[in-house]
Structure 1
Amino acid sequence: MADAKALTLPRHVAIIMDGNGRWAKKRLLPRVAGHRAGVEAVRTITRAGRDMGLEAMTLYAFSSENWKRPEDEVSALMGLLKRFIESDIDEFDANNVRLKIIGDLSAFSVDVREVVEGALARTADNTGSQLAIALNYGSQAELVRAARMLVEAGGPEAITVEGIEQHLYTADMPPLDLVIRTSGEQRLSNFLLWQAAYAEFWFTDVLWPDFSPAHLAEAVQEFGRRERRYGGL
């Protein structure tokens, strides 16, 4: 049995969902099969996080660098995104989940934007847990965007730590406590660079489609056992 300290929950968990392609390759399947399996893992893990009592979860679904992938793979990812939102929006709304998108939606096709914006509008007033999906997201671009907004509003003097935090996509979310990355890689890949300044990290060799509620619980329990000092003694 975990000790009492292990029951301390992170308020905000972010996940770099890595390994769909390798999962498919190991099974001699096309990459899109790995992405489909990854969507099922998203469903399972978001439900587990909600049942666990996590206040917020951010999932790295599509980075600004992912446009470099083959066109057919990008098209398949967009189709999976649409179907995921369309099929799961009733469940999210029924469970009082507020959906959020971090990233620049302007690069997506009209049909994708309409589905996403409809889901955001439908859940905007929900007061339960938050689920943020990072789409066409890059943390460096997010920081440049925040700085530009501050300069436009008040000049260079307006650029402060507090000011930048208020202009991040995650400004209305709890501070980031825990970053999880699957598939054995140990880097941030331009994900939540500012927000992760004092976050804890948990890495696993498990490929994303195989990441289970038990793995999430293991990460959360490990978080609860760590002593967070925020630069102090």
Structure 2
Amino acid sequence: MRLALGISYNGQAYDGWQSQPSGRTVQDHLEAALQQFATVPVTTVCAGRTDAGVHGVQQVLHLDTEVRREDFSWVRGTNSFLPPDIAVQWARPVPDAFHARNSAKSRRYAYVLLESPVRPSVEAGRVGWVFRPLDADAMQQAAAHLVGTHDFTSFRASSCQSPTPVKTLEPVAISRRGPYWRFEFQGNAFLHHMIRNIMGCLVYVGQGVHPPAWMGEVLEAKSRDAAAPTFSPDGLYFLGPVYEDHWGLPSQAAAYHWLP
């Protein structure tokens, strides 16, 4: 049986999603909990890997197992073996043709940014931070240069393993609630550090370091040296993949509505 699970996690304490020798990753903790619940080894495949410090609102994964349990048992049983900052949100049996990564049409991220003269405290590790005012119109104009299918080499980490830097990005939604900014990204796929590198450039433009047209120049340069420094992972949230309706999977998790 193939099973799909929706997972939410606070990434502050972990070395990212993907399993590592350190054992300090979300995947390591989740697979250990699944093995304790199912009493057999379990291997998972996720929709999108996240870096150290990045949070997951609706990570989706699949696993193959001969263990038969009710959907709610997979949720409650696995959660009983997980640390409090990782939780299974839902479980659904899916056809063998479903693949958490390959069946995704696109992926969604949000970056939450605090604009304040004082650094975060209660929300430390959960939001990015700037102390200089940001210009919304300038950032919207800059982000418009990235919409469509482009070579995003300028926003790609040197350790990126993607076979191609060409990705398709939909319009970036930028909104504000009090001192909190929210940037929403959706694309067919993302390069390693791509959103954090875009955020660094948007902040530069928003603070007046460069004009909006500079974003287009960075894109055309196809060189990481042309862009701003990589921004903090603290405010980055993987909102989850987008699947076709016929798979019958939830499109959101509760934490989606908690974000500013």
Instruction: Place the TM-score, normalised by the shorter chain, in its bin.
Output: under 0.3
Instruction: Please report the TM-score for the alignment, with normalisation by the length of structure 1.
Output: 0.25
Larger radius of gyration: 2
The structure that is helix-richer by fraction is 1
Instruction: Please report the TM-score for the alignment, with normalisation by the length of structure 2.
Output: 0.23
